[in-house]
Structure 1
Amino acid sequence: MQFGIFTVGDVTTDPTTGRTPTEAERIKAMVTIALKAEEVGLDVFASGEHHNPPFVPSSPTTMLGYIAARTERLILSTSTTLITTNDPVKIAEDFAMLQHLADGRVDLMMGRGNTGPVYPWFGKDIRDGIDLAIENYNLLHRLWREDVVDWDGKFRTPLRSFTSTPRPLDGTPPFVWHGSIRSPEIAEQAAYYGDGFFANHIFWPKEHFMRLIGLYRQRFEHYGHGSADQAIIGLGGQVFMRKNSQDAVREFRPYFDNAPVYGHGPSLEEFTEQTPLTVGSPQEVIDKTLTFREHFGDYQRQLFLMDHAGLPLKTVLEQLDLLGEEVVPVLRKEFAALRPAHVPEAPTHASLLAARKETVR
Structure 2
Amino acid sequence: MEFGIFTVGDVTADPTTGRTPSEHERIEAMVAIARKAEEVGLDVFATGEHHNPPFVPSSPTTMLGYIAARTERLVLSTSTTLITTNDPVKIAEDFAMLQHLAGGRVDLMMGRGNTGPVYPWFGKDIREGIPLAVENYALLHRLWRQDVVDWTGKFRTPLQGFTSTPRPLDGVPPFVWHGSIRSPEIAEQAAYYGDGFFANNIFWPKGHFQKLIELYRRRYAHYGHGTPEQAIVGLGGQVFMRARSQDAVREFRPYFDNAPVYGHGPSLEEFTEQTPLTVGSPQEVIEKTLSFRETFGHYQRQLFLMDHAGLPLKTVLEQLDLLGEEVVPVLRKEFASGRPADVPDGPPAHPAVERTRT
TM-score when normalising by structure 2:
0.98
Deviations along 1:214-261, whole A, 9 cap, x unmatched?
000000000000000000000000000000000000000000001111
Cα pair 1:84 1:136 within 8 Å, conserved:
yes
Count of aligned positions: 354
Which 10-residue stretch deviates more, 236-245 or 333-342? 333-342
8 Å contact from structure 1 (residues 172, 349) kept in 2:
no
Secondary structure of 1:338's aligned partner? coil
Give the letter aligned to residue 350 of structure 1.
H
- Provide the identity percentage: 86
Is the counterpart of residue 98 in structure 1 residue 98 in structure 2? yes
2:159 equivalent to 1:147: no
Q: How far apart, in 2, do the equivalents of 1:168 and 1:197 lie?
A: 22
**How big is each residue's C-alpha offset from its partner over 1:37-57, in whole Å with a ceiling of 9 and x where there is no partner?**
000000000000000110000
User: Larger deviation: 214-223 or 342-351?
Assistant: 342-351
Q: 1:1-361 residue pairs with structure 2 within 5 A?
A: 1-350=1-350
- Residue 160 of structure 1 aligns to a residue whose secondary structure is strand
The offset of 1:114, in angstroms, is 2.4
User: How far, CA to CA, are the matches of 1:250 and 1:272 in structure 2?
Assistant: 14
The range that moved more, 156-165 or 112-121, is 112-121
Give the letter aligned to residue 201 of structure 2: H
Q: Which runs of no fewer than 5 residues in structure 2 stay unpaired?
A: none
Give the Å deviation of 1:353: 8.9
1:357 is matched with which residue? none
Whole-angstrom distance in 1 between the partners of 2:203 and 2:111: 16
One-letter code of the match for 1:27? I
| CA distance in 2 between partners of 1:347 and 1:248 (Å) | 32
- Which amino acid is the alignment partner of residue 248 of structure 1? A
Structure 1: gaps of 5 or more residues:
355-361
Deviation at 1:347, TM superposition (A): 2.6
Q: Distance between the aligned counterparts of 2:138 and 2:258, measured in 1?
A: 40
> For residue 235 of structure 2, what is the amino acid of its counterpart?
L
Q: Residue 344 of structure 1: CA displacement?
A: 1.0
Shift of 1:339: 1.0
Over the residues paired in the alignment, what is the CA RMSD in angstroms?
Answer: 1.0
Secondary structure of 2:337's partner? helix
AA aligned to 1:59 is: S
The 2-side partners of 1:25 and 1:218 are apart by: 45
Measured in 2, the distance between the counterparts of 1:71 and 1:117 equals: 35
Deviation at 1:348, TM superposition (A): 3.8
Instruction: Summarize deviations over 1:271-300 as a string: whole Å, max 9, x none.
Output: 000000000000000000000000000000
What letter corresponds to residue 265 of structure 1 in structure 2?
Answer: G
